[in-house]
Structure 1
């Protein structure tokens, strides 16, 4: 019984992922101008990740080495955490700016 439920879940997850990827591509084909903003946003995230990757360290403690963490995985983890902090800070600043600009108008 559990196996059937898992297979149904996997199938529905695959359908949801296909829809999440496919529908924006279909809509972008209808209006290519809207694709420009999306590509700029994706490019900004790639640049932000590159900066985060450059800032992250690759040090591994003996406890981490026992768990199988290598220098490259440590650098990727650090880059992910740095990117999380940067995105969170940018979003907080954007929220504050949006509220202040609405209050001034």
Structure 2
């Protein structure tokens, strides 16, 4: 194992630690204000609902060449990836609409 591998594993470890802390620290800081936890829970439920709709509308079709050896993609995996992509597209569109509405609201005021 050379230094490149060591630095890659160290980077992976730091990403995992950072992700865990990014989830845990806001929860710890919001324990004093339960209403903020409720708002967070509502946001998570909405995103889960959007993903559920996207997952149910995604296709699980996989071409035969991608089911074979170097890829080994299953129909369930293809459906999951399709659901995630549709969710990202929907949230991107929602963000763009929100930006446009905010800018129009600024012009009017």
Q: TM-score range by the shorter chain?
A: 0.7 to 0.9
Tell me, in whole angstroms, the C-alpha distance in 1 between the residues paired with 2:80 and 2:13: 30
Unaligned runs of 5+ in 2: none
How many residue pairs get aligned? The number is: 105
Of 45, 70, 75, the residue aligned with 2:74 is 70
Tell me, in whole angstroms, the C-alpha distance in 1 between the residues paired with 2:107 and 2:31: 38
Question: Secondary structure of the residue that 2:30 maps to in structure 1?
Answer: helix
What is the Cα deviation at residue 11 of structure 1?
A: 4.4
TM-score, with length taken from structure 2: 0.85
TM-score, with length taken from structure 1: 0.88
Unaligned runs of 5+ in 1: none
Of 12, 20, 23, the residue aligned with 1:21 is 23
1:80-99 equivalences in 2 (<5 Å): 80-99=84-103
Bigger helix fraction? 1
Deviation readout 1:29-88 (Å, 9 max, x if unpaired)? 111111111111100000000000111011111121122111100100111111111111
Tell me, in whole angstroms, the C-alpha distance in 2 between the residues paired with 1:77 and 1:8: 28
Aligned-residue CA RMSD (Å)? 1.7
Match of 1:32 in 2: 34
